[in-house]
Amino acid sequence: MDSLAAPGEKTPLFLAIPPPPRLLARLPALLDELKADTWSLRPVEPEDFHLTLHFLGATPARLVDDLRREIGALCHARRAFDLEAGGLGCFPDDLNPRVVWLGFRDRSGGLEELFRASRRILMAYRLFELPAEMVPHLTLARVEGLSAAWDPRLLRGLAPQWSDLGVFPVEEVRLMRRRPAGAAGPRYETLAGLGMGGQ
């Protein structure tokens, strides 16, 4: 916490859900299969993988304690739930991909409810521009270049092999910040771990 910006300054914050170790252990094999001569990828570092719940953007540092308290109370009032990891996707699409991601299925509705309840709290601050809908995903890599020979069938062919990566338990939400450019170590820093009820 000593590295956090001074109270009058702003820092880029987001709320994220950490992936379980068994899922992290499978991602290097998936990234290997994504390698091809027809595009250039910049994979996310293993320590930086996360499922984003909300990206808050530049936030006054003085609000960190309030956010920790309010989102922490929200999480504590809810039971942990499971997602199902699987499926590949791209933003904006696989014809002109810029981000490659792993998807999730929210069969219990727990993630959708957590997204909407936390969004209501955040919108009350009248500071954040937040999307009204969520596309649950974990960013695998960013696309730095496509060759003229790029063919989306590369991704479409891999998708069935990675349609079921097992259960993703949601037991904690983390309040995180993006570290300054050029800082050594992980790109993101955890400011608070907010456990779901019973965790």
Task: Classify residue 76: in a domain, yes or no.
Answer: yes
Hey, is 38 helix, strand or coil? coil
Q: Does residue 3 surpass a pLDDT of 80?
A: no
Q: Does residue 1 surpass a pLDDT of 50?
A: no
Hey, is 77 helix, strand or coil? coil
Task: Give per-residue pLDDT as tens, 61-70.
Answer: 999 999 999 9
Burial class for 54, CB neighbours closer than 10 Å (0-12, 13-18, 19+): buried
Confidence of residue 5 (pLDDT cuts 50, 70, 90): low
Domains identified in the chain, total number: 1
Task: Classify residue 52: in a domain, yes or no.
Answer: yes
Find out whether 61 and 189 touch, Cβ atoms under 8 Å: no
Q: Does residue 33 surpass a pLDDT of 50?
A: yes
Q: Does residue 185 surpass a pLDDT of 90?
A: no
Residue 198's pLDDT is what?
62
Confidence of residue 4 (pLDDT cuts 50, 70, 90): low
User: Considering the chain, what percentage of its residues have pLDDT values greater than 70?
Assistant: 92
Q: Does residue 7 surpass a pLDDT of 70?
A: no
Domain assignment of residue 35, given as a range: 10-195
Rounded to an integer, what distance in angstroms lies between the CA atom of residue 64 and that of residue 54? 15
Task: Classify residue 187: in a domain, yes or no.
Answer: yes
* HEC secondary structure over 94-138: CCCCCEEEEEEECCCCHHHHHHHHHHHHHHCCCCCCCCCCCCCEE
CATH assignment at residue 178: 3.90.1140.10
Find out whether 4 and 64 touch, Cβ atoms under 8 Å: yes
Residue 114's pLDDT is what?
97
Task: Classify residue 1: in a domain, yes or no.
Answer: no
Task: Classify residue 178: in a domain, yes or no.
Answer: yes
Helix (H) or strand (E) holding 153: helix 153-158
Rounded to an integer, what distance in angstroms lies between the CA atom of residue 172 and that of residue 181? 27
Task: Classify residue 173: in a domain, yes or no.
Answer: yes
Q: Does residue 2 surpass a pLDDT of 50?
A: no
Global model pTM greater than 0.85: yes
Task: Classify residue 3: in a domain, yes or no.
Answer: no
Task: Classify residue 139: in a domain, yes or no.
Answer: yes
